[in-house]
Amino acid sequence: MVLTRTTRLLMLVFGLILALSTLPSRASERSTVVYLPLVQNAPANNVFGLEMVAISEQRGFSAALELQPSWIRRNGLRWSDVEPLENGGYNWSHRRVLALEKEMIIASKRGIDLILIVRASPRWATKPYQADCAPINAAHYDDFARFMTAAVDRYSRPPYNVRYWELGNEPDAFVFPGDSVFGCWGLVDDEYYGGRQYGAMLNVVYPAMKAANPKIQVLNGGLLLDREYDPATGEGLSGRFFEGMLVAGAGNSFDILSYHDYVPYNVVRGPPNSWKPRYLRRIMEQFAVNKPLMNTEGALLCNEDSLACRTAQAYAVGRLYARAARDNLLGHIWYIYDSDGFRHTALIDTNDFSTLRPAYIAFHYTSNRLASAQFIGPITGQRLSVEGYRFQRGREEVVIVWSDSNAQATITVPEGAQPACTEWDGTSFACTANEGQLTLSVGMAPRYVTFARLEPASCDLTTYPTQEGCS
């Protein structure tokens, strides 16, 4: 029986309702409203995203749009700007708030989903801590919930239309003595590193936000997650922060699991495979939680601004986004499009925003090939050093392939197909298939092969999920 896509989605939602109704409680016995994803508001199938210092033409916004991002992440709305005094009411006329509102409108007009970070708690809400990133005092969770209700009510509607809300930024960093753009709920003497406290806050704030607008999506503050927790040695305690959130019963108090995943520059090899998606999903499985993952900060980091490292960044782009699709991530946000403030990761020249760097060129071509494509699976039958993946784009198949060492890759193509072969930047090179096999040399820089795909004899929704006539 062939089911329509809408029917399949509705059946999935019904199945989730039945499954959730039978789940055992892992925390307290308090009643919880479970907000299921809205089928009609499912995000576009595009993992590409950027973070920007400011959304403006002066900082290269038009060039950013050429990269076809689904999301732009923005840090962010400061609670302390709007409510500096306890019980003093909300002041939405702070200069930073007014500037941010203009950016929200710009993004909305161009069809971009803004991921809005909310951070910087007022001093009265974090006592006895001094830092604005520190844990909110439990006595003020309701105050934060009221503020977030007001913010969602104001900004999730026209002309702002903010749907994605991220509560904090790297809350699993340890508590700092002063204000910080990231952190800092991490309690070094707590067995879950402060994750239970952050989860308890979500349990109060999330329902209030969803009551204000059920269509919004709430992200936890992107987890720094610098190492795995080792129960045998007790090392990597910060890796228990997310577990602590779930111990606190916060499994239904966020919609998207946000984490950060950077790779350092290495002269002899490209970015390795990440352990983080597997680690986070394993923890969720232990608590019968299933949330989509989003890497809300990622890039190849350069300790110094060199041509060699810029080139390595360009070569890394295709790998990172192909793997993001393979790992079934909702999105991968490149940090940061218009600033070298963190390890020289800008895609454009920060002294002249009209000058495009090699990583921008790579990002542009990668999104051109993959933004509208469906992930099929890895290419098989290769040497161990060869890594590559197949994507379906309409009636075409796109293969991306690379190797940390110079190697030969063999790509199977349909008999009679005329493959088009391109470098990481879109430059064409000659290639010819022989009896359905295409052999090409691969190295650190990804190469792409595009050809008309072979139509399967019957509907195979696993291999060809968007095959015409099978939806």
CATH code of the domain containing 201: 3.20.20.80
Both 314 and 389 in one domain: the answer is no
Say if CB 414 and CB 435 are below 8 A apart.
no
Both 362 and 405 in one domain: the answer is no
Say if CB 133 and CB 119 are below 8 A apart.
yes
Residues ≥6 apart with Cβ < 8 Å to 188:
174, 237
The predicted model scores a pTM of 0.88
Residue 240 lies in a domain: yes
Residue 471 lies in a domain: no
CB-count burial class (<10 Å; 0-12, 13-18, 19+) for 288:
middle
- The half-sphere exposure of 236 on its side-chain side, counting CA atoms within 13 A, is 15
Say if CB 243 and CB 284 are below 8 A apart.
no
> Rounded to 5 degrees, what are φ and ψ at 113?
-85, 115
d(CA 376, CA 353) in angstroms, rounded, equals 36
Residues 269-284 as b/e (b if ≥16 CB within 10 A, e otherwise) read ebbeebebbebbbebb
Both 242 and 389 in one domain: the answer is no
Residue after which a domain boundary falls, among 344, 372, 400:
372
Domain that holds residue 167: 32-372
Both 299 and 426 in one domain: the answer is no
Query: Which tokens is 51 given?
Result: 């973070």
Both 444 and 343 in one domain: the answer is no
Give me the number of domains the chain comprises: 2
Can you give the C-alpha Rg of the chain in angstroms?
A: 23
Residue 13 lies in a domain: no
| pLDDT at res. 77 | 99
Both 197 and 224 in one domain: the answer is yes
* Total Cβ atoms within 10 A of residue 421: 19
Digit-by-digit pLDDT tens for the chain (471 residues) are 333 334 333 333 334 333 334 333 333 333 445 454 433 333 455 999 999 999 999 999 999 999 999 999 999 999 999 999 999 999 999 999 999 999 999 999 999 999 999 999 999 999 999 999 999 999 999 999 999 999 999 999 999 999 999 999 999 999 999 999 999 999 999 999 999 999 999 999 999 999 999 999 999 999 999 999 999 999 999 999 999 999 999 999 999 999 999 999 998 899 999 999 999 999 999 999 999 999 999 999 999 999 999 999 999 999 999 999 999 999 999 999 999 999 999 999 999 999 999 999 999 999 999 999 999 999 999 988 999 999 999 999 999 999 999 999 999 999 889 999 999 999 999 999 999 999 999 999 999 999 998 765 444 444 444 443 343
Residue after which a domain boundary falls, among 330, 355, 372:
372
Residue 134 lies in a domain: yes
| pLDDT at res. 266 | 93
The DSSP symbol for 223 reads: B
Residue 462 lies in a domain: no
Residue 6 lies in a domain: no
User: What dihedral angle (degrees, nearest 10) is formed by the CA atoms of 16, 18, 24, 26?
Assistant: 30
Both 284 and 191 in one domain: the answer is yes
Both 362 and 385 in one domain: the answer is no
Residue after which a domain boundary falls, among 316, 346, 372:
372
Both 326 and 436 in one domain: the answer is no
* Total Cβ atoms within 10 A of residue 324: 26
Both 444 and 359 in one domain: the answer is no
Both 60 and 78 in one domain: the answer is yes
Residue 4 lies in a domain: no
Say if CB 27 and CB 248 are below 8 A apart.
yes
Q: Kindly give the pairing relationship between strand 407-412 and strand 420-422.
A: unpaired
| pLDDT at res. 41 | 37
Both 311 and 341 in one domain: the answer is yes
d(CA 424, CA 314) in angstroms, rounded, equals 8
Residue 355 lies in a domain: yes
CATH number at residue 436: 2.60.40.1180
SS3 152: helix
Residue type (1 letter), 332: H
**Residue 179 Cα distances to 121, 213, 311, 362, angstroms:** 10, 30, 35, 36
